[in-house]
Structure 1
Amino acid sequence: MSEEILINVTPRETRVAVVENGMLQEVHIERALRRGYVGNIYKGKVSRVMPGMQAAFVEIGLERAAFLHASDIVRAAPSLVGDAGENGGGQPAATPPILDLVREGHEVVVQVVKDPIGGKGARLTTHLSIPSRYLVLLPYSRMVGVSVRIEDDGERARLKETLQALGRDSQLGYIVRTNADGQSDEALAEDVDYLGRLWQAVQEGIAAAKVGERIYEDLPLSMRALRDLMRRDIEKVRVDSRETFDKTLHFAQQFMPELVERIEHYPGERPIFDLYGVEDEIQRALKKEVPLKSGGYLIVDQTEAMTTVDVNTGGFLGHRNLEETVYKTNLEAAQAAARQLRLRNLGGIIIIDFIDMTDEEHKRQVLRTLEKALSRDHAKTTVYDMSPLGLVEMTRKRTMESLERQLCEPCPECGGRGSLKTAETVTYEIFREITRAVRQFDAEKLLVLAAPKVVSRILDEESAAVAELEEFVRKTIRFQPEEHYSQEQFDVVLL
């Protein structure tokens, strides 16, 4: 499988695309004025404790107070003031009451695990973690864990033994990341040394920081792409900015020298995202409908509570019978849905409404296809069995806004509903408002200001109704189109 990472840099925005076999799979966007907060460490102050929710709100210098649940608080008190101290042991099974852990006014060292999304503030934890190329440092734990995606038992044991030996004197914990699979002891030792130096700098920052100050910030997107997305099957990393290319090359030489030769500068006149068709794919990813090669299509609908994916056969008629048609459409839809979730960065609860199938083996194959397609997703996903109605419930870990919500805003016409009242509906609302107004106030004439489309309809199709209304209210009514009014907006003015 051919896989490349494309890094497009403009003065105020960096975009990273992951392309597999010429097809866009992931897009990551970072804007200078709106960098994400995930991974950042702050010194905060508890502004409010909510015992009923087992949570506290913490001021960390962002627009909204951030949310800290009791289960995300390191039990030992030193961790709350930033001292790595004596936490080391295992955690109690039950979460203590929030008031036993923090009080209003307490200073806490916290890390952002989820960006502010919609009207919700950031989600915090005091279980700090700092990633490197192959490891994740857990400064308040002595555990050594290995990613479940490293499946070979012998390799898992080797990695765990190596880390336990390397970290014996530091009393720090580590998680071995997936891309550590097959790496040498020397490479792991370099990461342990790097994380040790970085943690020392963070501790010094904790001691000096004031409330609301950022102590540690994660790498910029171009560097994170190398750290988090680079795998052995990535053939090329192409960067269209000479300055960013030099920085990524220096980063790779320092932390992943074996991959340096795969990083190259793209000097072409044609924009790199245009060359690979990425721009067109991004535009398509903002639409609800996703066409399938068979002639079927998906409808992807993101709401506040969940995301739904509806599968339709469309123009695909098949060659044998209905069950075969449905089965083939669902197989294609399973692969397409997995790609769309990853491409659009959709998270939380997801419901996929496959077309009803009667054959149990077909259902199993469709579910297997979905799980296999999701296996390449960097975000954690959990898929449940198909319901009798053909629905598949699943979850995908969400740490930041979806692609649509990063690039778009609610429609000013409909307020995000996705639909507008018809001109006919608005017409009858105007008529009711006129009747209500003349009963409450005295006036000789009335002036109605409304959108041109609505006024045009009233004067043409509803002219007879207007004449009847004038006779009923015994007033003269004049209608005036206003270009800047939305279709639902109108005003009745008494003259």
Structure 2
Amino acid sequence: MADQVFISLGPDRAELFRWCDDRLVQATSEREGEGGPVGGVHLGRVLKLDRALNAAFVEIGLERPGLLPLKKHDSLSEGDAVAVQVRRDAREEKGVRLARFNAKPNLIGERQPPALLLPPPMLWQTALQALVPERVEVIHCDRRGDADKIIAAAPELRKKVQHTPRRSWELNDAAAREEIAAALQEEVQLSSGGHLLVEPVRTLTAIDVNSGDAGGRRGTVGSEGGGGMNETALAVNLAAAREIPIQLALRNIGGVIVIDFIDIEHRGKRDQVVEALREAVIVDPAIDWVGNMSRLGLVELKRRRGGPTLAEMWSNRDS
């Protein structure tokens, strides 16, 4: 399983496409300055200390103050200036999560909080830094002069970078746009004849695995009965297990994901589906954990949040 990465750092927009085994598994698109705050370094001001949480609320110039966890004997006081780095995006009613940053005096200078000291990396930079170097086959750089920027973002990938003008990209833009358009839909067709229904809600993402025309409604395919019906359920579940990590990576969906597979009575076959899922997550370095399958066919997994979703990036692309 090898990654091919295509990067275009145009004057108006930076784009990155990652393909794995002829499937698009990652796509980022961003104008300078329109990305999220994660990775940015700020000189902040302590607004409030909360000893119950053992944390400080720090103003850094965003809509809500960020949360900075404190060490046991931290000497910060309300009103103090503190250098921090944003480690996690704001979500729901919570502000960003912060960590202390050891800023050199010349970086701070005479600035007063709140002040931005170092801008956050762009999405393509974050995506490169998250890759597993051993799995990267080549990084195609649209413009020869941008190679140095790519190498600076991920020095360990230096030998993989080569200049390939965008007009010569083997996996052309039209193919990428087709994959992106499909990933912006709720329903995903499976090779087995079944389909997935991907439904992000406020606190988690639910993925429902359905048999479609492969054998009837999900409630009957996996129920006790003929072996053919159970084999159909297994085939659809295995296809879903291989497809779901690709969809999560491409859609950039983070947090808790609950997968509702078609019910299978046989425990060994349930384990087979989970094993296929665990093998498939190699395509996505952001997936941290995959749980076991319950008797009801539910599997939980956790994926690190990082930047906007595919829908958010591509809805802003032409604005």
- Tell whether 2:176 aligns with 1:274: no
* 1:107-146 equivalence runs, <5 A: 107-117=81-91, 120-126=94-100, 128=101
* 1:242-391 equivalence runs, <5 A: 242-248=144-150, 251=152, 255-256=155-156, 259-269=157-167, 274-275=172-173, 277-317=175-215, 321-391=228-298
Paired AA for residue 82 in structure 2 = V
Q: How many residues align?
A: 307
- 1:16, distance to aligned residue in structure 2 (A): 1.3
Q: What corresponds to 1:175 in structure 2?
A: none
Greater per-residue helix proportion: 1
Q: What corresponds to 2:218 in structure 1?
A: none
Q: What corresponds to 2:60 in structure 1?
A: 60
The 1:260/1:269 distance shift into structure 2, 3 A limit, reads same
Cα distance in 2, alignment partners of residues 268 and 52 from structure 1: 54
The 1:122/1:366 distance shift into structure 2, 3 A limit, reads same
* 1:68-107 equivalence runs, <5 A: 68=68, 72-75=69-72, 77=74, 102-107=76-81
Task: Tell me, yes or no, if the aligned pair for 1:66 and 1:123 is still in contact at 8 Å.
Answer: yes
The 1:25/1:380 distance shift into structure 2, 3 A limit, reads same
- Tell whether 2:18 aligns with 1:44: no
Paired AA for residue 264 in structure 2 = M
Cα distance in 2, alignment partners of residues 36 and 296 from structure 1: 36
Deviations 1:230-252 (A, max 9, x none): 61332211122344235335x38
The 1:219/1:404 distance shift into structure 2, 3 A limit, reads closer
Paired AA for residue 285 in structure 1 = A
Deviations 1:185-228 (A, max 9, x none): xxxxxxxxxxxxxx7xx453146442122223454445444444
- 1:21, distance to aligned residue in structure 2 (A): 1.3
Q: What corresponds to 1:16 in structure 2?
A: 16
Which residue, 215, 234, 238 being the options, matches 2:136?
Answer: 234
Cα distance in 2, alignment partners of residues 241 and 116 from structure 1: 35
Task: Tell me, yes or no, if the aligned pair for 1:273 and 1:279 is still in contact at 8 Å.
Answer: no
- 1:310, distance to aligned residue in structure 2 (A): 0.1
* Greater C-alpha radius of gyration: 1
- 1:120, distance to aligned residue in structure 2 (A): 4.1
Cα distance in 2, alignment partners of residues 327 and 2 from structure 1: 27
Greater per-residue strand proportion: 2
Cα distance in 2, alignment partners of residues 381 and 357 from structure 1: 26
Q: What corresponds to 1:455 in structure 2?
A: none
Cα distance in 2, alignment partners of residues 272 and 221 from structure 1: 23
Cα distance in 1, alignment partners of residues 204 and 132 from structure 2: 30
The 1:26/1:14 distance shift into structure 2, 3 A limit, reads same
- 1:395, distance to aligned residue in structure 2 (A): 1.8
Task: Tell me, yes or no, if the aligned pair for 1:117 and 1:400 is still in contact at 8 Å.
Answer: no
The 1:326/1:116 distance shift into structure 2, 3 A limit, reads same
Cα distance in 1, alignment partners of residues 3 and 9 from structure 2: 20
Q: What corresponds to 1:30 in structure 2?
A: 30
Calculate the TM-score normalised by the size of structure 1.
0.56
- Tell whether 2:118 aligns with 1:216: yes
The 1:116/1:32 distance shift into structure 2, 3 A limit, reads farther
Calculate the TM-score normalised by the size of structure 2.
0.84
Cα distance in 1, alignment partners of residues 284 and 91 from structure 2: 21
Paired AA for residue 10 in structure 1 = G
- 1:10, distance to aligned residue in structure 2 (A): 3.1
- 1:359, distance to aligned residue in structure 2 (A): 0.4
What SS does structure 2 have at the residue aligned with 1:343?
A: helix
Cα distance in 2, alignment partners of residues 221 and 401 from structure 1: 9
Which residue, 364, 385, 403 being the options, matches 2:310?
Answer: 403
- 1:12, distance to aligned residue in structure 2 (A): 2.7
Task: Tell me, yes or no, if the aligned pair for 2:107 and 2:117 is still in contact at 8 Å.
Answer: yes
- 1:273, distance to aligned residue in structure 2 (A): 6.5
- 1:401, distance to aligned residue in structure 2 (A): 2.9
Task: Tell me, yes or no, if the aligned pair for 2:30 and 2:313 is still in contact at 8 Å.
Answer: no
Paired AA for residue 374 in structure 1 = V
What SS does structure 2 have at the residue aligned with 1:357?
A: coil
- 1:338, distance to aligned residue in structure 2 (A): 1.5
Deviations 1:240-273 (A, max 9, x none): 2344235335x38x944xx545322222537776
Alignment RMSD (CA, Å): 2.9
Task: Tell me, yes or no, if the aligned pair for 2:55 and 2:70 is still in contact at 8 Å.
Answer: no
Paired AA for residue 121 in structure 1 = G
